[in-house]
């Protein structure tokens, strides 16, 4: 689950870092903002956790979870970029990501390992 969170966080981190360079804030405000950002970014990933507690049997390797988290974050950002959602509808974007993470918990993608066999 932490890989899912890191993938989600990675995409959102880009826009947050850009905000810190544009705004003039005190160091205390920046630290508080980072803490709130880290906590608020974890809320959508709870959809995956709740689905697993409810009995979701999906299986993905660590890299697939990481890229799934990044993809959900990109999809959420696309909703705001193309004005499907406005800034005032931030909680709707979070709910969208929550639902996608809930669905991801039921998806199984198993990588097939190549087994070399000798004919002789």
| Predicted confidence pLDDT, tens digits, the chain (120 residues) | 889 999 999 988 887 777 777 767 788 888 888 899 889 889 999 999 999 999 888 888 888 999 999 999 999 989 888 888 887 888 888 899 999 999 999 887 765 554 455 554
- Is 45 in contact with 77 (CB distance < 8 Å)? no
Give me the number of domains the chain comprises.
Answer: 1
Give domain status of residue 113, yes or no: no
pTM over the 0.95 mark: no
Give domain status of residue 9, yes or no: yes
- Is 34 in contact with 26 (CB distance < 8 Å)? no
- Is 95 in contact with 50 (CB distance < 8 Å)? no
Give domain status of residue 120, yes or no: no
Domain with 27, as residue range(s), is 2-104
CA distance 85 to 93: 7
């Amino acid at each position: 689950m932490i890989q899912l969170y890191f993938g989600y966080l990675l995409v959102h981190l880009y826009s947050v870092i850009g905000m810190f360079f544009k705004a003039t804030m005190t160091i205390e405000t920046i630290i508080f903002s980072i803490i709130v950002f880290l906590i608020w970014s974890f809320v959508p990933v709870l959809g995956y956790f709740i689905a697993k507690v409810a009995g979701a049997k999906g299986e993905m390797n660590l890299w697939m979870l990481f890229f799934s988290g990044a993809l959900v974050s990109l999809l959420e950002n696309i909703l705001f970029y193309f004005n499907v959602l406005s800034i005032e509808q931030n909680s709707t974007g979070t709910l969208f990501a929550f639902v996608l993470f809930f669905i991801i918990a039921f998806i199984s993608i198993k990588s097939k390992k190549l087994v070399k066999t000798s004919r002789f």
